[in-house]
Amino acid sequence: MDILRRVQEYRQTQDALKWEGTFAEYLELLKEKPYLAQSAHSRIYQMIQEEGIEEENGVRKYNFFSEQLFGLEEALEKLVEEYFHPSAKRLDVKKRILLLMGPVSGGKSTLVTLLKRGLEQYTLTDRGAVYAIKDCPMHESPLHLIPEHLRADFEKEYGIKIEGSLSPLNRLRLEEEYGGKIEDVKVERIFFSEDNRVGIGTFSPSDPKSQDIADLTGSIDFSTIATYGSESDPRAYRFDGELNKANRGLMEFQEMLKCDEKFLWHLLSLTQEGNFKAGRFALISADEMIVAHTNESEYRSFISNKKNEALHSRMIVMPIPYNLKLDQEERIYRKMIEESDIEDFHIAPHTLKVAAMFTILTRLKESKQSNISMLKKLYLYNDQDVEGFSDQDVNALKKEYADEGMTGIDPRYVINRISSTIIRKEMQAINALDVLRSLKDGLDDHPSITKEQKEDYLDFISIARKEYDELAKKEVQKAFVYSYEESAKTLMDNYLDNVEAFCNKAKLQDPLTGEEMHPDEKLMRSIEEQIGISENAKKAFREEILIRISAYARKGKKFDYQSHERLREAIQKKLFADLKDIVKITTSTKTPDEQQLKKMNEVVATLVEEYGYNTQSANDLLRYVGSLLNR
């Protein structure tokens, strides 16, 4: 890639987007594209909408968030539909600070970063274009130039409602530079950039004794007082606070509830009236969304203080809990690993899944229903089929606790333990057992885990270990069966011949002697029992198989080993049961003979080629499963 050429092309693209003209020319643009005058809240909502929406199990999934935030679909749907959407419609919700509340490493900061980066890109598009009075430090809307007495007529003609007043600086510039002629005022297209402090601001509290309110609202430039003669001259003021620079876009208020009270007072007027006080000037209008984030303990402490009632009433609190879906938690770990320098290290299949299993268990609350274990709840939340339960049961489970997911182990702890395992282990692969061991060892050093929680977490590690044992055995079972694919097909053909004879009340012919014989009930039951088909249910199951064969035949399709999932599972389990002794001998003997070594190598090759292991992790898996089978 010719990086310099690409940079040049990007610069040319950016230059092509620039626009400058008079206010009169800007009004002509508005006639064609009235959406150019949308509010900050509306712009954010449209940005999210235009990325697309998908619906899954009755829950909306917003593509805007889908590549970075996993398992938070319900929380994000509530955020978009209960805050962004009504705010975009200028409903009263717009006059509220958005406060994201949730546990550490739950995705709050990521969500805000997505909004900021998204706005930067969106203002480069036609639908997200933003225009401002040229050379205005607050990037003020050109529509503020229209006098109050003409705004109702303007709304009738253009269909655009104007909110806010012209700032002191632009009021002075209008008279001195343009002689009061608003049609001549220069307007330019601006592009949001946090780095350039355009449309996006970030405020982070520091030591209350040293932090100045000027960080929010700007300050007097004393070097210019001699030139302009007064501190109240707007030209002697630096409109460079975060509230000034975030105008037209978004301001992130980090750790807002840790702030000194004087910093929060300015937000009361800004949220309710859309303006704030700066220096010795009239109220300054600002159109921006304020988003803050905090944890639950700080929020509880904040609302318990009666002095904070006014500010609390101007907040919309949106809980952002931990993800509670197993598959999505695994995606979080994969994303974090891909962003690190250890992405080329081999992590055996199921390692991240088992780690995620432990993590999700720590976040769940025990169901009030006695027939639902923590493990069943984990699978139900992961949209997996659990016998005896429906979607309605899952919805009822989610309503049991309003605060489920607000506590538990955070993803950073798990990634730290995985990283520690990788660094310490000299070999080039780790597996689920390595990670579970590391998670267990790290509990002693976790600062916020109580003795009672530790006991529960150790139980969850045991549960995850047992689930891994089953996964490991199934993985080896599939690999062995794959290596004996012909045996599996032969066994299935034999079973189908017997089923057909049984259902048709016919006899089979011995291929060697030619004599007739009854269907082999012992063979059929040995296969059916592998998947829990009872004696009473065997006839219905066999008839179902025969119906499936007939349906395939009518469509001109061949019924084979892959055509019936439950039958395939039964064949695999039967074949593995017959091969179990071979597995035990092959994996546990220290000096395998040539035939055993050949079988071992075939299975290792299958695990590597078909299931994502490398040679080391495949051999580790075989040895471990061998030890399980020998117990």
Q: For residue 423, what pLDDT band results from cuts at 50, 70 and 90?
A: confident
Average pLDDT over residues 581-596: 67
Q: What percent of the chain has pLDDT over 70?
A: 95
Among the listed ranges 183-187, 188-192, 391-395, which one has the minimum average pLDDT value? Answer: 391-395
Nearest in space to 130 (alpha carbons), one of 76, 58, 200, 211: 200
pLDDT score of 427? 62
Domains of the chain: 1-319 (3.40.50.300), 326-465 (no CATH), 473-630 (no CATH)
- Residue 51, CA distances (Å) to 48, 113, 260, 446, 606 in order: 6, 16, 38, 39, 41
Average pLDDT over residues 475-483: 77
Contact in structure between 199 and 190 (CB atoms under 8 Å): yes
Name the average pLDDT for the chain.
Answer: 88
Coil, strand or helix at 98: strand
Higher pLDDT: 351 or 485? It is 351
pLDDT score of 37? 94
Q: What is the pLDDT of residues 342-363, one digit of tens each?
A: 667 889 999 999 999 999 999 9
pLDDT score of 558? 85
Give me the helix-helix angle, 451-483 and 565-588, nearest 10°.
Answer: 100
Average pLDDT over residues 128-149: 96
- What is the phi/psi pair of residue 251, to 5°? -125, 125
Query: What is the pTM assigned to this prediction?
Result: 0.84
Q: In what helix (H) or strand (E) does residue 238 lie, and over which residues does it extend? A: strand 237-238
Q: What is the pLDDT of residues 97-127, one digit of tens each?
A: 999 999 988 899 999 999 999 999 999 999 9
pLDDT score of 343? 64
Nearest in space to 84 (alpha carbons), one of 49, 109, 116: 49
Burial of 138 (0-12, 13-18, 19+ CB in 10 A): buried
Among the listed ranges 81-95, 197-211, 256-270, 382-396, which one has the minimum average pLDDT value? Answer: 256-270
* Cβ count within 10 A of residue 92: 9
